[in-house]
Structure 1
């Protein structure tokens, strides 16, 4: 098991759930204080280490022992956004590509694609991804592809 300092340094002192900065000097009892979340999306194999990620105390408590929900930015204009955690898990296992959202304009799709690649660079740094925009039917599909 890693120390809070080790996990925080590795994650750049950003909460893996909300992607906001975590103050390392704040009390661990404060809702905005740092905590270590043992990420258990699937039952680990016997003897395998459970991945640990940095989270705000409140984000970690709100998530509890259930699968995390990592939200899309409310500043983006996306329709039918795919769940980020499940998409990352599938692409990590199988590779390939997935449609992750629909956008009304190419500009909206480009903004969403840039945001998603940036967010995943911190959320899943070992998963190299890129986005493609496919027009059709008066909308633009945002496709996430493993690089």
Structure 2
């Protein structure tokens, strides 16, 4: 198992769930304090080396034993965005491409594509993700493409 400092440095002191900064000097008992999420491991088993992720204590607690929800940025104009966690799971397992949202303008879609690639690079570093914008039906489709590293 890695130490808090090792995981924090590897994850650039950002919470893998909410993508907000984690204060390395905050108390581990504080809601915004650092915490290590061991990932999905069966009960009684140790986490695989390197599978731990940095999270705020509150984010880690809120996640509990349910699948985490990773929000899209509220500053983006994306209609019916796909759930990020499910999208990452499918792209990791199958590769290929997946439409993850629709945008009313090309500029909105391009802004969302840049944000998505940046977010996925931190959320799922093992995934080599790119995003493209494709016109379709009077709107612009945001398409995620992936392979593994």
User: Do both share a fold (TM > 0.5)?
Assistant: yes
Deviation track 1:58-111 (CA, whole Å, cap 9, x = no partner) reads 111111111111000000000110111111111111100000000011000001
TM-score of the superposed pair, with normalisation by structure 1:
0.92
Matches within 5 A, 1:21-100: 21-40=21-40, 49=48, 51-100=51-100
CA RMSD of aligned residues (A): 1.8
Q: Which moved more, 1:13-22 or 1:119-128?
A: 119-128
CA distance in structure 2 between the aligned counterparts of 1:43 and 1:72, rounded to whole angstroms: 29
What's the CA shift for 1:9? 1.1
What's the CA shift for 1:35? 0.3
Q: Which runs of 5+ in 2 are unaligned?
A: none
Deviation track 1:15-40 (CA, whole Å, cap 9, x = no partner) reads 00010110111100011100001111
Is 1:118 paired with 2:102? no
Deviation track 1:104-145 (CA, whole Å, cap 9, x = no partner) reads 110000010000001111111121111111111111110001
TM-score of the superposed pair, with normalisation by structure 2:
0.91
Displaced runs of 4 or more, over 3 A: none
CA distance in structure 1 between the aligned counterparts of 2:113 and 2:42, rounded to whole angstroms: 31
Is 1:106 paired with 2:106? yes
Q: How many residues align?
A: 145
